[in-house]
Amino acid sequence: MLILKLAFRNLFRNTRRTLLTCILVSSSLVALILVDGLVLGATDIMIGGITHTLEGEAQVYRSGFRDNLEADLYIENPEPIMATLAADAGVMGYAPRVLVGGMVASSYNTTGGLIYGVDYRQEENVSLIREAIIEGSYLTGGDREILIGKPMAELLEVEIGDRIILTAATVNTNDIAQELFRVSGVFEFGPDEMDETYVFINLPKAQGFLGMENHLHQIAIRFHDREDSRNRQLPLLQSLNQGNIEALGWLDLQPAFGAMIDMTNYSTAIVGAILFLLTSLGVINSMFMAIYERIYEFGVAKAIGTRPGQIISLVLVEALLLALLSCAAGIVIGYLANHYFSIHGVPMGEFEAAGVAIRGNVETRVALYQYINFPFYVTLLTLVAALYPAWFASRIVPTQALQRAL
């Protein structure tokens, strides 16, 4: 109790220095919270770009299909899988698809393309195809409807209503099939690869065109809770992983992207380490100044019987109070700033990461751990930084310290 009282009073003997040190420590905490909030926000955008645009947060497909998009590797009996997905409360939506490589031709030009047969209603819960339409209209189930990307439309020199011929090999027989479509919509997702090569037609038409009956190549899934998509042990996906059927979340579907997310976490750790290093130097400096200023008091305290361990405790309690005060300020300011930027966003210009275009403001994300873990680390660091000054104070020789009082 005496140590606490002494530490508290000592802390406010030099209010200006204490405040400056508090500002240093709390600023580091605020910076760490904001950097983490920004990284989470940018990561959300990138994950959203990958998963919500088209891929889905998880996919069900036949083993080996994703290696080369081999059209013959289709899901033979998709009904029970879709029934399971429809019954799962955690699933926001699922989208059955067929996809095959083929040729896309107009009267003027020809290009390679990836043909997606999609259920236009169910896609609205999983992908952003409708939102990406910039000309014409979204699919309505019509037999000849086709959506193409803007660069492809320019290459093929077609407009809404113009004719497009799709050519692809049918499944199992590998016969060449051709079908005529009319451009009903032009989309622009952002990433060049998608806009230049993807085309979307209605699922029944695609299944008929490719001779697939009711078979599917892929079922894309979106969850209510985004954390489910990161859960490799999710019971739903595990239950679907049977026989030649695989069900994977985006972390496994896009391993390179998952690694990049991990790297962003490392970047937060590196920023945190640099901030912590600078902060700890500031704390050490401040504690040493406080100790040198009161060196004769430590000499007196030792002279009248204070043990070295009690001197260490006193300095550490001062550091603890300093850290708690700083963290309290840092938590409040950090929360307010993070909350503000989570609404208004941070202007980051325009950049593309992992095939995802990020434009405009990046909204930070507020997470509870930022206000529990980071203050804990800051407090711990402050105590570690104070260890050396505390040890120094405990080693003060009373006679030398007392001479300074004269």
Question: Which residues would be at the binding site for other proteins (CB under 8 A)?
Answer: 2, 5-6, 9-10, 13, 296-297, 299-310, 397-399, 402, 405-406
Residue 94's nearest CA partner among 133, 60, 139 is 60
- Least Å distance, CB 302 to other proteins, is 7
- Least Å distance, CB 11 to other proteins, is 10
| Sign for the pseudo-dihedral over CA of 309, 315, 319, 321 | positive
Residue closer to other proteins, measured from CB, 270 or 397: 397
Q: Is 56 left (phi over 0), alpha (psi -120 to 50) or beta?
A: left
Residue closer to other proteins, measured from CB, 2 or 87: 2
Residue closer to other proteins, measured from CB, 2 or 263: 2
Cα angle 256-257-261, degrees, rounded to a multiple of 5: 120
Residue closer to other proteins, measured from CB, 307 or 344: 307
Q: Is 89 exposed, middle or buried (0-12, 13-18, 19+ CB in 10 A)?
A: exposed
Residue closer to other proteins, measured from CB, 13 or 359: 13
Contacts of 328 (CB under 8 A, 6+ apart): none
Quote the CA–CA distance of 256 and 394 in Å, as a whole number.
Answer: 52
- Least Å distance, CB 328 to other proteins, is 22
- Least Å distance, CB 387 to other proteins, is 18
- Least Å distance, CB 314 to other proteins, is 11
Quote the CA–CA distance of 201 and 57 in Å, as a whole number.
Answer: 22
- Least Å distance, CB 405 to other proteins, is 5
Place of tokens 């940018």: 42
Cα–Cα distance list, 275 to 29, 30, 282, 339 (Å): 8, 10, 11, 21
Residue closer to other proteins, measured from CB, 8 or 351: 8
